[in-house]
Amino acid sequence: MVSHQCLQLDLELDETEYFELLMRIGVDKQAILKMLLVNNNMAAVAQLAQRVDIRALVPQQKIADQIAMLTVLAQQPSYGAFIRGLEQSESLKLRQHVQALITQHGLKPYPEPAFHIVDFGVYDMAGNTDPESGSTRKTAREPHCVQATTEIKPELGMFFGFRFTATDPANAPSVLVHNVHVVHPIFDANSQTVKMHTSTWQQNGYSNANIFLGWHFETADELIAGQYHFSAVSTEGKLLAEKTFTVL
């Protein structure tokens, strides 16, 4: 992942133009966010939050930066319930700020979930998991949860994650197209350190079935300890399901 320091370039572009350039060329969103916070460019933070789900990135920032971020996120309805979820933060300053935002903006808690998690942990895959013809995307066939846990002892070839489904399939789309976001550690060869990275892809599944969202350790260099946060987000930006795992 590119560090935010590497993004501090003098390209004779204004802040908006530079932000759009970074988004267009696919720079890691965590690095972009850090650069925006260092530069106190909260208008661009708001734009970033509109275009990608940054909830998993908020707790990784300093308390002062979290407070600044929540102030702008409170103006976006899709983040209201997330902010309410921080009412029990260990930080007194953050709790007080969240309470003020709830009062100021009338933030509502999460409604009855349209989707819920069926099971989670380590899975065996029955059937073919090789990429389909003409595609690099793999198809998960009949995943079977063999160990319910959020603490993962990594092994080469392992699958872990969760399955979710519609709470009321009759009122859900028959085929659910959604975006997957996984915030996970990677080894950065340039700095020789482990950094956090967000991997994103789009997948679909039948709402009346159990949809698998997970991670596959394909190579030995992927066996990195740390937190792995999974989230399924609709194409309209609504959080469908999320779960955090700790790889030991």
pLDDT in the model for residue 28 = 80
CATH class of the domain comprising 115-247: mainly beta
Alpha-carbon distance of 110 to 106, in angstroms, equals 13
Domain ranges of the chain: 4-105, 115-247
SS3 216: strand
Alpha-carbon distance of 82 to 218, in angstroms, equals 33
DSSP one-letter code for 205: E
Question: Mind listing the pLDDT tens digit of every residue in the chain (248 residues)?
Answer: 444 445 454 445 677 777 787 778 877 888 888 888 998 989 989 988 888 888 889 999 999 999 999 999 999 988 888 898 898 888 999 999 999 999 999 887 655 568 999 999 999 987 654 555 555 555 556 799 999 999 999 999 999 999 999 988 877 888 899 999 999 999 988 888 899 999 999 999 988 899 999 999 999 999 999 999 999 998 888 889 999 999 99
Helix (H) or strand (E) holding 31: helix 29-38
CB contact at 8 A, 157 and 217: yes
SS3 102: helix
In one letter, which amino acid is 30?
A: Q
